[in-house]
């Protein structure tokens, strides 16, 4: 028999407690190496769409707020087009789509200021409800966790991804709650009661 000649993906390891040294050195206080940290905002001034602020925490199975987590977000523009390599064409030039978010070293609260993304098609063309993809790494997390932020003031019932969640009562863990005209709350619970849904995508 011939051998399949695929390579294996490099195995993951935890980002560890000092991930900020490498990925957000300026926010850590190690200024002078890079002029600015990458991913400070997923939008530039003039981005089209509704500006929103999402605030949250990441909590562990004992209810403790993580101070050492790092989150990256990726989203489409207000029309549902991704910047860069979206096969459907160019996105809003003022949306870069990607942000690197760290929690406040003392309170553990994180904040994402962006524009609400538009709908993006699933494989079969049905629209997915507006969402922001998240990738979460930290000490104690061996492989980055994938989840999504959906919005309570959108039609989420027809989203083909949310429909695939068999335990319907868990869908609420993916839905940001409105706390103001343009503000949402999204708390991530890694383990236990009301554990956030994580995906293999």
Partner 1 sequence: MTLSHSIDRGPLFFRDRDWHPPAYTPGYKTSMTRAPHRALVALGSTLSEETGPAFGHDMLGELDNNLIVNFTGQPAIGERIIMHGRVLDENGRGVPNVLVEIWQANAGGRYRHKKDGYLAPLDPNFGGCGRTVTAQDGSYEFLTVRPGAYPWPNHVNNWRPMHIHVSIFGTGFGQRLITQMYFEGDPLIARCPIVNTIGQDRAIQALVAPLDMNRAIPMDCLAYKFDIVLRGRRQSFFENRKEGM
Site for partner 1 in 180-199 (CB under 8 A): 190-192, 195-199
Site for partner 1 in 66-105 (CB under 8 A): 66, 68, 72, 74, 76, 82-87, 93, 96-98, 105
| Residue 168 binds partner 1 (CB under 8 A) | no
Which 8-state DSSP code applies to residue 103?
A: -
Do you know the residue count of the chain?
Answer: 201
Per-residue binder mask for partner 1 (CB under 8 A), 102-141, x = binder: ---x--------------xxxxxx--x--x-x-x-xxxxx
| Residue 172 binds partner 1 (CB under 8 A) | no
Minimum CB distance to partner 1, residue 30 (Å): 6
Identify the residue among 48, 53, 55, 60 touching partner 1 (CB under 8 A): 60
**Binding span for partner 1 by CB under 8 A among 49-57, 108-116, 143-151, 175-183:** 143-151
**Binding span for partner 1 by CB under 8 A among 46-54, 57-65, 106-114, 176-184:** 57-65
Minimum CB distance to partner 1, residue 28 (Å): 7
Interacting residues of 60 by C-beta distance below 8 A, sequence separation 6+: 66, 140, 190, 191
Q: How far apart are alpha carbons 78 and 101 in whole angstroms?
A: 21
Minimum CB distance to partner 1, residue 108 (Å): 14
Which 8-state DSSP code applies to residue 95?
A: B
| Residue 161 binds partner 1 (CB under 8 A) | yes
Classify residue 69 as exposed, middle or buried by CB count within 10 Å of its CB (0-12, 13-18, 19+): buried
Q: How far apart are alpha carbons 173 and 190 in whole angstroms?
A: 11
Distances (CA, A) of 94 to 54, 56, 78, 100, 136: 19, 25, 11, 17, 25
Q: How far apart are alpha carbons 191 and 62 in whole angstroms?
A: 8
Nearer to partner 1, 72 or 184 (CB): 72
Sign of CA dihedral 35, 39, 40, 42: positive
H-run or E-run covering 188: strand 188-189
Nearer to partner 1, 19 or 52 (CB): 19
Contact at 8 Å (CB) between 102 and 70? yes
Minimum CB distance to partner 1, residue 154 (Å): 15
Site for partner 1 in 6-25 (CB under 8 A): 6-23, 25
């Amino acid at each position: 028999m011939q051998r399949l000649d695929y390579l294996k993906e490099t195995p993951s390891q935890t980002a560890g407690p000092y991930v900020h040294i490498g990925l957000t050195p300026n926010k850590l206080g190690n200024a002078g190496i890079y002029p600015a940290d990458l991913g400070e905002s997923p939008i530039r001034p003039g981005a089209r769409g509704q500006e929103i602020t999402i605030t949250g925490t990441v909590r562990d199975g004992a209810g403790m707020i993580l101070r050492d987590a790092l989150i990256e977000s990726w989203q489409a523009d207000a029309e549902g087009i991704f910047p860069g390599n979206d096969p459907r064409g160019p996105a809003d030039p003022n949306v870069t789509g990607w942000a690197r978010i760290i929690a406040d070293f003392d309170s553990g609260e994180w904040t994402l200021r962006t524009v609400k993304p538009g709908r993006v098609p699933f494989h079969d063309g049905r629209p997915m409800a507006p969402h922001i993809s998240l990738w979460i790494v930290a000490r104690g997390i061996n492989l980055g966790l994938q989840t999504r932020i959906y919005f309570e003031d959108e039609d989420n019932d027809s989203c083909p991804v949310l429909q695939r969640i068999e335990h319907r009562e868990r869908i609420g863990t993916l839905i940001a709650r409105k706390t103001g005209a343009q503000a949402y709350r999204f708390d991530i619970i890694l383990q236990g009661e009301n554990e956030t849904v994580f995906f293999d995508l």
